[in-house]
C-alpha cells in the first residue's frame, strides 16, 4: 500500500510542477505582450490544491520524514507565494521575492517528484546492507572480508 501511495505522491508532485510551469508561461506571455496578469492571478491558487494533497498523502501514507518534511515545506512556500504580491505597495523589495520563491517551489516540487520509491515496511537501510550479497562492493561485509 505504501508503494502505491508513494507513486501517487510522486505523480501528484509532477502535476503541481505542471501548474507552476503554466504559471511561469503566463507571466512570460504577459511580459512579452501576449496577455494581462489577470490569468496568472486567477490560476495562481490552482496549484495549491495538489500541494495540500501532497502533505495529506505523505502523512496518511506514512512516507517518511523526508517526503513529509518536503511536502510541508512546499505548502509553506505556496502560502508565502500567495502573500508576497500583497506587499507590492508597502514593501516592494519583499514582494520582489515572488519569482525567487517560485523557483524554490519548483525545486522542492522536483525533489518530491524525483524521490525514490519508499522502501517496503520493515526494510531499513541497515537491514538491506546486511542482506546484500557478498559480491556487492558496496556491502559492508564485502569491505570487511577484503
Residue 7 C-alpha cell reads as 507513486
> What's the farthest any 2 CA atoms get from each other in the chain?
68
SS3 content of the chain, % helix, strand, coil (to 5): 70, 0, 30
CB 40 within 8 A of CB 28: no
pLDDT at 64: 87
Q: For residue range 91-140, what is the model confidence (pLDDT) as tens digits? A: 999 999 999 999 999 999 999 988 776 554 444 445 445 554 555 556 55
Assigned C-alpha cell, 116: 525514490
Q: How far apart are CA 51 and CA 72, in angstroms?
A: 9
Q: C-alpha angle with apex 35: 33 to 41, nearest 5 degrees? A: 130
**134-143 residue pLDDT tens:** 555 565 554 5
pLDDT at 146: 47
Cα(104)–Cα(88) distance, integer angstroms: 20
Amino acid at each position: 500500500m505504501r508503494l502505491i501511495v508513494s507513486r501517487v505522491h510522486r505523480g501528484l508532485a509532477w502535476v503541481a510542477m505542471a501548474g507552476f510551469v503554466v504559471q511561469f508561461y503566463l507571466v512570460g506571455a504577459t511580459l512579452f505582450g501576449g496577455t494581462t496578469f489577470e490569468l496568472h492571478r486567477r490560476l495562481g491558487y490552482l496549484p495549491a490544491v495538489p500541494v495540500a494533497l501532497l502533505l495529506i498523502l505523505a502523512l496518511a501514507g506514512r512516507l517518511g520524514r523526508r517526503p513529509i518534511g518536503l511536502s510541508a515545506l512546499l505548502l509553506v512556500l505556496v502560502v508565502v507565494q500567495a502573500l508576497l504580491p500583497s506587499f507590492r505597495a508597502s514593501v516592494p523589495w519583499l514582494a520582489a521575492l515572488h519569482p525567487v520563491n517560485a523557483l524554490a517551489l519548483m525545486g522542492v516540487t522536483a525533489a518530491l517528484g524525483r524521490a525514490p520509491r519508499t522502501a517496503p515496511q520493515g526494510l531499513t537501510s541497515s537491514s538491506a546492507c546486511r542482506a546484500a550479497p557478498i559480491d556487492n562492493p558496496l556491502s559492508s561485509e564485502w569491505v570487511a572480508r577484503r
